[in-house]
Copies of this chain bind each other. A is one copy, B any other.
Amino acid sequence: MVRMVDVASHAGVSIKTVSRVLNNEPHVQDSLREKVYASVEKLGYVPSASARSLRSNRTYTFHLISPVIVGNYINTVQAGAISASQKHGYNLLVTPLEVEVLDDSKALNVWCRELIEKKKPDGVILVPPLSDNLRLNEIFNEAGVPISRIGPNKIDDVNNASIIIDDRASAKEATQELIALGHKRIGFVRGIESQGATQERYYGYCDALENAGISIDPTIVKPGVFSFESGMNAGLELLSLNNRPTAIFAANDDMATGVIVSAYRTGIAVPDELSVMGFDDSELAEKIWPALSTIRQPVVDFGKSAVEHLVNRAGKSSMKRPDKQSLTEILDYKIILRGSTAQVPQV
């Protein structure tokens, strides 16, 4: 095994200089820097993560925390977070947080303390619905653990990063696509009420209708919980109305898929008799029939940005110089039109 002393003697400098170079610290001559890098390369030196951690009290590990750890959204965030973490010399650990713990303030406290003491994360990434959990944010803040929040409702946090898209604008634009196809009676399926996206997407839907001079009819706005089943139930209700909508916009793809299945079950053809719009562009969207029109979120970039904010906050990272970024990052969305939306049926 090659140690730091070996690199130092090979490069003809002190061990501390090697340490300085590898940690991107200032006060080292460029000539020495290069010598050190050359020796590192030549000897195939790999720093010992455990020695470094022991001494510096950092673990070079971020935790992606989520109640649900299997699903297109969370695993796509994870993929982005993993590759960005690797790039910056960090590990990414996925840590499930049971919903029962989440609902019990005391248990949540214990859970977080354990995580912080045992795993000593250098940063945590929170996804919905955790991003807006005040208690969670408080605990990590108090413990000095940097947070990156993905898709939070309130982005007024002065300490921690928020990675979002403009839910309202995107939902407005998607609704306008439906209006452009001639739809006037457009239903909406909401998501979990405690999640910011639910309200924002609904507002966007309202914005588009108002702009087009269409009044909002609360009887064709149904609740949902972002699940396939809740979408199917909402669809069944909407499609059984006397004056049923000609288009339904669901606040995520799982629910939109449920709406499509509800149409099959009631014998209503999609898109001939009913247009359906989703939100997310999940794996499902292209695999169902008809393929789902939806809004694509840059979910891989959510994970990537979350990690990069943490890396910057962590300060000096090995081998990489940090660059400054603002705390709130608004990423781009894209409307994807597929087979589930079409011209309004002729009456």
Write the nearest CB–CB distance from A153 to chain B, whole angstroms. Answer: 26
- Classify chain A's interface size: 35 or more
Q: Is the CB of B117 within 8 A of A287?
A: no
Which residues does chain B contribute within 8 Å of A228, judged by CB atoms?
A: 286-287
A288 to B290 CA separation, bound complex (whole angstroms): 10
Provide the A49-88 mask, 1 if CB < 8 A to any CB of B, else 0: 1110110000100000000011110011011001100000
Residue A127 is within 8 A (CB to CB) of chain B in the complex: no
Residue A254 is within 8 A (CB to CB) of chain B in the complex: yes
Q: A54-B51, A284-B284, A286-B228 are in contact. Are A79 and B72 (CB under 8 A)?
A: no
Which residues does chain B contribute within 8 Å of A261, judged by CB atoms?
A: 287-289
A120 to B265 CA separation, bound complex (whole angstroms): 54
Provide the A114-125 mask, 1 if CB < 8 A to any CB of B, else 0: 000111100000
The A contact surface, by secondary structure, is helix
Write the nearest CB–CB distance from A103 to chain B, whole angstroms. Answer: 20
Across the interface, A46 reaches (CB within 8 A) one of B54, B75, B117, B260, namely B117
Q: Is the CB of B288 within 8 A of A288?
A: yes
Residue A264 is within 8 A (CB to CB) of chain B in the complex: yes
Residue A48 is within 8 A (CB to CB) of chain B in the complex: yes
Residue A257 is within 8 A (CB to CB) of chain B in the complex: yes
Write the nearest CB–CB distance from A93 to chain B, whole angstroms. Answer: 6
Chain A stretch 237-263: residues in CB contact (< 8 A) with chain B: 254, 257-258, 260-261
Residue A92 is within 8 A (CB to CB) of chain B in the complex: yes
Write the nearest CB–CB distance from A262 to chain B, whole angstroms. Answer: 10
A258 to B53 CA separation, bound complex (whole angstroms): 49
Residue A96 is within 8 A (CB to CB) of chain B in the complex: yes
Provide the A7-44 mask, 1 if CB < 8 A to any CB of B, else 0: 00000000000000000000000000000000000000
Which residues does chain B contribute within 8 Å of A254, judged by CB atoms?
A: 287
Q: Given contacts A53-B53, A70-B76, A283-B284, could you give 8 more A-B pairs where the C-beta distance is less than 8 Å?
A: A46-B117, A49-B59, A50-B53, A70-B283, A71-B283, A79-B96, A91-B91, A284-B287
What are 14 pairs between A and B in contact, CB < 8 Å?
Answer: A50-B54, A53-B53, A69-B79, A70-B79, A70-B283, A71-B75, A71-B283, A72-B283, A82-B96, A92-B93, A228-B287, A264-B290, A283-B284, A288-B288
